[in-house]
């Protein structure tokens, strides 16, 4: 499943309980965006989702230096 954020960068999805590994990456382009560069600045994080507790995942991208995914249940 590919999820793209809209507007303010927030997206809400509903998932069944289980283990998940979100992956974030950037594909930049150099003058010709019909031919994107390979994935870079990537990161991933594994979490287990309980069906009765919501979870928030925050992806922070630092262009050229990678990214970080933080998950918190609440």
58 in a structural domain: yes
Share of the chain above pLDDT 90, in %: 0
Q: How far apart are alpha carbons 45 and 69 in whole angstroms?
A: 6
Weakest mean pLDDT among 1-5, 8-12, 69-73: 1-5
Residue 40 makes CB contacts below 8 A (sequence gap 6+) with: 25, 26, 27, 28
Domain extent at residue 32 = 18-73
pTM over 0.85: no
Domain tally, the chain: 1
3 in a structural domain: no
User: For position 5, what pLDDT does the model report?
Assistant: 66
56 in a structural domain: yes
**Whether the Cβ atoms of residue 34 and residue 27 lie closer than 8 Å to each other:** no
12 in a structural domain: no
User: For position 25, what pLDDT does the model report?
Assistant: 86
Ramachandran class of 66: left when φ > 0, alpha when ψ lies in -120 to 50, beta otherwise: left
pLDDT at 38 over 70: yes
């Amino acid at each position: 499943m590919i999820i793209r954020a809209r507007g303010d960068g927030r997206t809400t999805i509903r998932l069944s309980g289980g283990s998940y590994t979100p992956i974030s990456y950037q594909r930049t382009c150099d003058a010709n965006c019909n031919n994107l560069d390979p994935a870079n600045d990537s990161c991933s994080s594994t979490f287990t989702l309980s069906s009765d507790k919501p979870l928030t995942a925050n992806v922070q991208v630092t262009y050229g230096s990678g990214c970080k995914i933080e998950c918190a249940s609440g």
